[in-house]
Amino acid sequence: MGELILCREPIAANPFFLEDASLNIYSLEELSYYISNNVYLLNADFISVDLCRWIGRELGAKALEEQLMTSMQELAPLHVFVGQILTYNGYLTNQEIRTLLQTIVSFENKSPVECKKMRADRLMEKDKLVDAIFEYESLIDGGELAAGSTEFEGDVWHNLGSAYARLFFFGEASLCFEEAYKRNHKQQSMRLMLAALRCNKDDKRFSELVERYFIPADVVESIKEEVTTLSAKESVRSFDGQVDRMVLSGEPNHACEEEIDQIIEGWKVQYNHLCSM
């Protein structure tokens, strides 16, 4: 079900196009909604003369246009510009506005590369995995990361691997975790590198990496046990049991079939949500 936004301010006859989101905005309330739900996607490019003029011309908010233009001329930071928009229409509460502006301040003074990683991490948190993958890969492929094997670069690779693993691309995930381990030397990256291969049932590659990185036998066994435990979760065992009962009975069991179909359909819905952009 969609969400209704009550607009108290005028609706624009001609929308403002937000390029980063490929989205048309028709009101200040819609603009506030976009900001509140995509705060980590905002950057200095959000401050523009076109946006200021659209607010004044299409929405008739001349006072706000003047405030924003003054902020631009004074080279005010992003959180000041955004704060003026949010406080003008009252779509958000004062506490919500303060929280959003604090979030903007938190990444405002960071480097463009750090901001980009923060945005990608936020997309991961919101289950927008495909968008997160594009962000991480653009960081890696764009030559924006520092030269050499840095911990920060390793963490980017690690998070990219996590995104692939959540989409069940375990082969790709393992490659990412290996690249992460080469750079950040973190045990978590090493363990997930092997766990992804275990999930992918790639025993040959698993053994190769154990030898290459001199991973102790007790660590290898603990990783195997963790994967086995996760594979035997209650929901998985229950599903396997239903399938086994239906197969062993040798006779049609419509109730069981319907229950299995519902479980599979639920998994499909969850996976499609993770793949959405």
One domain, residues 245 and 211: no
Residue 30, pLDDT score: 93
Asked if 219 and 208 touch (Cβ cutoff 8 Å), the reply is no
Tens of pLDDT along 68-127?
999 999 999 999 999 999 999 888 999 999 999 998 998 887 887 888 888 899 888 888
Residue written as token pair 């062993």:
248
Query: Is residue 5 assigned to a domain?
Result: no
Tens of pLDDT along 205-249?
999 999 999 999 999 999 999 998 887 666 666 666 666 666 566
CA 43 to chain centre: 17
168: left (phi over 0), alpha (psi -120 to 50) or beta: left
CATH code assigned at 201: 1.25.40.10
One domain, residues 88 and 100: yes
Asked if 128 and 155 touch (Cβ cutoff 8 Å), the reply is no
Torsion of Cα atoms, 6 then 82 then 70 then 58, to 10°: -30
Query: Is residue 264 assigned to a domain?
Result: yes
Domain residue limits at 33? 16-108
Query: Is residue 195 assigned to a domain?
Result: yes
Calpha distance 166→176 (Å, rounded): 13
- List phi, psi (to 5°) of 125: -60, -30
One domain, residues 76 and 31: yes
Q: Quick check: pTM over 0.85?
A: no
Number of domains in the chain: 3
One domain, residues 223 and 136: yes
One domain, residues 119 and 226: yes
Quick one: pLDDT band at residue 1, thresholds 50, 70, 90?
very low
Task: Give the length of the chain.
Answer: 277
Query: Is residue 90 assigned to a domain?
Result: yes
Residue 12: DSSP 8-state:
P
Residue 252, pLDDT score: 58
Calpha distance 250→245 (Å, rounded): 9
Calpha distance 123→153 (Å, rounded): 18
Residue 21, pLDDT score: 79
**Which residue type, as a one-letter code, is found at position 156?**
V
One domain, residues 227 and 125: yes
Paired tokens of 176: 């990412």
Q: Where does a domain end: 71, 88, 108?
A: 108
One domain, residues 133 and 160: yes
Quick one: pLDDT band at residue 43, thresholds 50, 70, 90?
confident
Dihedral sign computed on CA atoms, order 138, 144, 148, 153: negative
One domain, residues 42 and 81: yes
**Which residue type, as a one-letter code, is found at position 217?**
A
CA 36 to chain centre: 15
One domain, residues 183 and 76: no
One domain, residues 141 and 164: yes
Calpha distance 207→223 (Å, rounded): 13
Asked if 25 and 15 touch (Cβ cutoff 8 Å), the reply is yes
Q: Where does a domain end: 46, 77, 108?
A: 108
Tens of pLDDT along 104-114?
998 887 887 88
